[in-house]
Amino acid sequence: MKRSVSGDERVGVRSATPKGSTPLMRSLSLSGVGGAGYTPWVGAGGTGGGGGYTPWVGATGYPTGGGGGAGGAAAGGWGVGFSGFPPLAGEEYGPRNLARRPRDWRADYNPRGGLSILPGFVTKGRSDVQDYHDPQRRMLHPLLQYQANNPPISHDLRVNPFDTSRYDLFVNLARAHNQIDFAQLATQPAASMMRLYHPHLPWYIDVKPSHPNGVTVHDVLMYVYRQLMTPISGRHFWNEELGEEEREGVTKAFWERCGTSQGEVGRGVLQVDFLGRRVIFEGLARGRGGIWEIKTSKVDPR
């Protein structure tokens, strides 16, 4: 019998929900993001390779990490070092011990917006991310080319784009999309790599081709989804670069995405949570230096 394959398996996304954790318990009162009405979510703990490592909510209401036994940080939890929980890779971060700006963030990222995201006015922070410039002027495929008044695609970036129940991914098609649409080259001439960015996302998304012909529409959607589903580390949340308002925005996005799903909470804060409610993907637009801006709009509040 042929086994059905989920969308997450097709794009190589592995669930980060820890094994062996106890059921999580939540307060019935959910008033406010700042902590009123929230109670701690605690995993089972344990020893060895991080079993039972689950997010934990501190007194501030922020999802600060937590976990059980040695090696828990390496299992993908945050491990911020509160209440005896093991730190992540030896780093204890929190509101009283902020990390410096993470070196894996793009140099031109500014969490408060402003001049750092405007061409010609780039204020760069320290970063270990390698610069990239594409000297070739390329044209995007119409399925990805952003048009403000008529976006070609409408997709919630928190959802697997290859979910077979979605028939309205490309809104301008007069039919359901198919594998031929996904196989189209993302650019002309073809690209061996595409670098994407979003003004509110600290990381670049580097798209590599899955076929020798070049980056395809499928590759773009796959790499964006796969990276945005990546759990963040404690230093990405508790650092000198983010202010209280930015942390509250990430926290609110985390709770809205998780809802009442214990499985989602177990995955921790993901990169997509930095986008807040700006999670409806509407295409790509040409940016500076041959890289591409991810254009999004806000999701309707629940």
59: pLDDT strictly greater than 60:
no
**What phi and psi, each to the nearest 5 degrees, are found at residue 186?**
-70, -30
* Contact present, 113 and 276 (Cβ < 8 Å): no
Quote the pLDDT of residue 123.
Answer: 54
Cis peptide before 189 (omega within 30 of 0): yes
Contact between 221 and 52 under an 8 Å Cβ cutoff? The reply is: no
* pLDDT tens digits for range 159-208: 999 987 777 899 999 999 999 999 999 999 999 999 999 999 999 999 99
Cα–Cα dist 291/120, whole Å: 15
DSSP, collapsed to helix, strand or coil, labels residue 194 as strand
3-class secondary structure, 220: helix
More confident position, 286 or 112 = 286
Please tell me the predicted confidence (pLDDT) of residue 131.
Answer: 92
Between residues 75 and 136, the one the model is more confident about? 136
Q: Is the pTM of this model over 0.85?
A: no
Domain boundaries, the chain: 132-230+277-297
Q: For residue range 66-112, what is the model confidence (pLDDT) as tens digits?
A: 433 333 333 333 333 333 232 333 357 888 899 999 999 999 999 98
Alpha helices in 141-216 (DSSP H): 179-182
Q: What is the mean pLDDT of the chain?
A: 76
Share of the chain above pLDDT 70, in %: 66
pLDDT tens, 18-52?
444 333 333 323 333 333 333 333 233 333 333 33
Question: 227 falls in which pLDDT band (50, 70, 90)?
Answer: very high
**Residue 232 in contact with residue 254, Cβ under 8 Å?**
no
What distance, in Å, lies between the first and last C-alpha atoms of the chain?
Answer: 40
Give the residue-averaged pLDDT of 272-295: 97
Q: What is the pLDDT of residue 61?
A: 52
